[in-house]
Structure 1
Amino acid sequence: MHTDEQMMNFSAQLNENSQYLQTVMGASSDFVVRNLTLPGSLQIVLFYLDGMVDKQALQESIIQCLLERTPLLVNEISIQSIKTNILNASEVLSTSSIMEALDLMLSGAVLLVMDGAGESIVVPMQGWEERSISESKTQSVVRGPQDSFTETLRTNTTLVRRRVKDTRVRVRAIKVGSLTKTDIAFMYVEGLANQELVNSLQIRLNKANSENILEGEYLEEILLEKKQLTLFPVFYNTDRPDIIASGILEGKIAIFIDGTPFVLLAPALFVDFFKSVEDKYQSVIFSNLIRVLRYFALSICMLAPSVYITLTTFHQDMLPTQLLLSLAAQREGVPFPAFFEAILMEITFEILREAGIRMPRTVGQAVSIVGTIVIGQAAVEATIVSAVMVIVVAITAISSFVIPSYSMSIPIRIVRFGFMILAASFGMYGLTIGIILLLIHLCHLNSFGVPYMSPLAPFDKTEQSDGIFRLSFRNKKQP
């Protein structure tokens, strides 16, 4: 019996190889061992995982070929002759390393081990069920492509290559995660992407010290620089192939993770999260007006409750007399200060929002909408909160949905609570200080060495073709 150290490579004895592989895989019910006796008493064993391989291709490209073609070469059977003359598969590999063969088998390959060979033939034959390409459910558009990524890495890279038919497109593959051994690929256009950034990304992925990589967030936390502690995303994630195609044409790097339909794009700048791919499918005037609307919605989402608290608590003299009297009449009988009202309504709405997401889709939206209306109306009638506060919270919540990227709306919603605390404590002065500190924090961040607020801070005139506003395609440089 060989030790683990001795069995790093395949043995010339078929029984030893078979026994070791079955010991490593344990009593897994999906681990299939198929013994074949070919002419000339040649013993071959096939190892694969049920459900991970295409059984029809296995039968036609391996088993049937071995049974029909081996008698013609009975005196010349070797690993090389099986690879070149017998098997009818598009890709046939060989390895003497057991660990390498097991890694490939766990990814959907068939191992073919022959008596006396000392190595194994590996035939990639993935055949698991895949979700078909469908419309994006997180970033829908009125005009533009309606396809989205799936959970299969190779399908996703193909969707991008269909859009960027250039020989400079490069795809680099790597496995990350000591337990999951997740396939990861990063794509870029050579000559457009910063080569130092590409090398830095590859080094960080190679040094990634993690057992489990199941989704993009795992990588985001691993690749994020330790000195950067922030709520704001420094990677852009999307399930739309056209966004990734547009990104790599701008010199960015796309990171694909097998098993998730969301692809990461780096570097990601603050302005990127307020762009929609549909901006490029509409007229330049309309696109820019919509972008202005998004930044206006950002201001409302982040500051509306804080400004209301400030004006009603500390700076009533800034309000017109008629409006002040109307607010005072509505707040008559309300036992709580404006800050407590805002906190109560904001937390209630966040609970309803989360409940609507987690509940079954058929009833989730109805519950969140009806729940918001019923609770808001009941709270006003019970004089727990004022009607104006319900309006402020409602417009704040609606404004958060205008932000195209969900990953950016989350930190904006969290920062809103901080501004509310500052407004309740120090009034307009506290709110102003909070805004200044937030801008300083954003300017301090970087995404893979690129300033997070660029091309605005530092201002770069040459990069303004798609910054806050989008210029006409006639004025853009061609890659």
Structure 2
Amino acid sequence: MNRMIRKLFKTNRTEKKQSIETSIQKQDLLSNNLLENENKLRSIYKNGSDVIFRSFFIGGKEKALLIYIDGLSNMEEIDENVLSPLMQITDEKFDHVNDLIEKKISVSDVKEIRAFSECTNEISLGNPVIVVDKRKTGFALGLSKWEMRSVEEPSAEMVVKGPREGFVETIRINTSLLRRKIRSPDLKMESMEIGRYTKTNVVISYLEGVADKTLIEEVKNRLSRIDIDGIVESGMVEEFIEDNPYSPFPQVLSTERPDIVTSALLEGRVALLVDGTPFSIIVPTTLYSLLQASEDYYGRFLIGTAIRWLRYLFLVISLLLPSLYVAVITYHHEMVPTTLLISMAASREQVPFPALIEALIMEITFEALREAGLRLPKQVGAAVSIVGALVIGEAAVSAGIVSAPMVMVVAITGIASFTIPRYSASIAIRMLRFPMILLAGILGLLGIMLGVITLIIHLCTLRSFGVPFLSPMAPMQVDEWKDVLIRAPWWKMDTRPHFTGEYKKYRQAPGQKPGPTREDNN
């Protein structure tokens, strides 16, 4: 009996909810009365001085209304290709407005709309909307036009050899940059709207038949779960789709370069383009992807391999050098040659602080100078960061606050951190440097070992859309080491990296090692 009552109440609630939704949908539909439609739209855009309502007559007979936002729509095209031809009609019948629009309006993109929500969406995109009296449908015209930045090289990802173009804030320009590089119809671009108020357009880009279908569905599911007032930048999307949000390491790859996105798509990854920002998101990613630069693949493979090894070395230096110095100076004097130990002791004779406090002072000062250099105007930012570091370092040594070796250690550490290609990975290493220094000051080399072991365990637990963060080293996939420890020549990299699920293994024909062509002379 109780089950029947609960079922009855549940059915009533469902029917009530459906009836409410139906009534809301009916209220959202356009009316055949132009005055009602105009009043409803004016109430929606109340106190909107930039929204233009232009009443006119089609051929002097049918009353119509044109709505657009000043600054988002192409007013010259509206005057020339919309208002002028419609108002000058003299001998047309108005039984079929669709045919009339197709014949008289020379606009490539015309969409029929039936609801107020569709009207507001199109108007917000910069597309003018025409509503005609005695018609329950309107027409959205693809005449959007607004100021945009030209395509130029990203200042944060500059290369010596490679393309000199980067993404901009307009999403359709970004998609066109990808279409120029991948001309196959297998390149898919699926759009989603995120944000209750901003209604930000997010494009999911992938290569059909190359990217795993389960990966594509997972990306869509994570994006569809986002329910927020607005998305302003791709970094907001990153935080909503990461596997482990509390990790200091980024689990997605962010880039401004179309060539990097193109390479990722060809490997079977998925790219997210967010309207209003030049930064795209690539998933899944690994730690080694964050340490690779596009320029590694445009030069000779031997040089690329050497630079990659140098990058790995400086990654370790950036993370551990200050903590090693603190540990040796504080606890492990026997590890330093006598001559060097005497020199270091002499330089520290006037310093009143222990090595731990000295290292923290210098590291915090260096990070403050770097941040100040980023926030100041370009004309003075570089000068302040460089001159400030020189002046403060020299003054601190002269005053006996820090020692000269500590200044050298911090300077080398700062230079090493600049060799990491991705800013998000670089700042994670910079932040982890401080707990490593504290562990070294408290426990010496034992503290550094504990910190490194904890860090490795954390990295082993990370996933990026189900892909192990240390892949292909852990779990071990020897076949894919040719693009991790070394940069193998292109004629050797005939297989794609295997992330998860099904994938198209081969990306080029085997046996393409270059060499002179030999012909058999019979």
Once the two structures are aligned, what percentage of the paired residues are identical?
38
Distance 2:485 2:466 in 1: 21
Task: Report the more deviating stretch, 198-207 or 147-156.
Answer: 198-207
CA contact (8 A) 2:317 2:416 kept: yes
Q: Which residue of 2 aligns with 1:283?
A: 300
Could you state the TM-score of these two structures normalised by the residue count of structure 1?
A: 0.97
The residue identity in structure 2 corresponding to 1:36 is F
2 CA distance for matches of 1:18 and 1:79? 19
8 Å contact 1:271–1:467 — kept in the other structure? yes
Cα distance in 1 between the residues matched to 2:100 and 2:424: 51
- Quote how far apart the aligned CAs of 1:77 are: 4.3
Is the deviation greater in 31-40 or in 290-299? 31-40
1:372 paired to 2:389: yes
- Selected match of 1:319 from 321, 327, 336: 336
Q: Deviations over 1:5-58 (max 9, x none)?
A: 753011111011011101111121110001112335210100010000111221
| Partner Cα separation in structure 1 for residue 60 and residue 392 of structure 2 | 81
**Distance across 2 between alignment mates of 1:456 and 1:126:** 49
Which residue in the other structure is 1:50 paired with? 70
Residue 168 of structure 1 deviates from its aligned partner by: 1.3
Corresponding residue to 1:182 among 188, 200, 205: 200
Q: How far, CA to CA, are the matches of 2:76 and 2:481 in structure 1?
A: 54
User: Is 1:469 aligned with 2:489?
Assistant: no
Query: How far does residue 4 in structure 1 lie from its aligned partner after superposition?
Result: 7.2
Q: Which amino acid aligns with 1:72?
A: D
SS at match of 1:332: coil
Q: CA deviation at 1:198?
A: 0.2
Preserved CA contact (<8 Å) 1:78 1:117: no
In the alignment, the residues of structure 2 paired with residue 46 and residue 228 of structure 1 have an alpha-carbon distance, to the nearest angstrom, of 47
Q: Which runs of 5+ in 2 are unaligned?
A: 1-22, 495-505, 508-522
Aligned length: 474
1:11 is aligned to: 31
What runs of 5+ residues in structure 1 fail to find an aligned partner? none
Distance 1:396 1:127 in 2: 48
Shift of 1:115: 0.3
- State the shift of 1:354 in Å: 0.7
* 1:446 aligns to 2:466 (yes or no): no
Q: Deviations over 1:416-462 (max 9, x none)?
A: 00100110111101100100110110110010001111011111123
1:299 to 310, 316, 336: 316
Residue 272 of structure 1 pairs with residue 289 of structure 2: yes
1:435 aligns to what SS in structure 2?
helix
- Residue 157 of structure 1 and its aligned partner are, at CA, apart by 1.0
How far residue 214 of structure 1 moved from its aligned partner, in angstroms, is: 0.9
2:185 aligned with 1:171: no
DSSP 3-state at the match of 1:208:
coil
Shift of 1:60: 2.2
Q: How does 1:128-277 map to 2 (within 5 A)?
A: 128-225=146-243, 228-277=245-294
Q: Deviations over 1:185-229 (max 9, x none)?
A: 01111111111010111122122111111111111111123x552
Alpha-carbon distance in 1 for matches of 2:214, 2:151: 34
Q: Secondary structure at the match of 1:326?
A: helix
SS at match of 2:55: strand
Q: Equivalents in 1 of 2:245, 2:414: separation in Å?
A: 28
Q: Following TM superposition, by how much is the alpha carbon of 1:372 offset from its aligned partner in structure 2, in angstroms?
A: 0.3
Deviations 1:90-122 (A, max 9, x none): 110011111122111101111100001012111
SS of the aligned residue for 1:71 comes to coil
Q: Distance in 2 between matches of 1:267 and 1:245?
A: 14
**CA separation in 2, counterparts of 1:196 and 1:4?**
35
Partner of 1:354 in structure 2? 371
Q: Give the letter aligned to residue 107 of structure 1.
A: L
1:417 is matched with which residue: 409, 428, 434?
Answer: 434
2:482 counterpart SS class: coil
C-alpha offsets along residues 229-277 of structure 1, whole Å, 9 cap, x if unaligned? 2010011011111111111001111100000001110101100111110
How much has 1:333 moved relative to structure 2?
1.2
Q: 2:91 aligns with which of 72, 83, 97?
A: 72
Q: In structure 1, how many angstroms separate the alpha carbons of the residues matched to 2:61 and 2:184?
A: 51
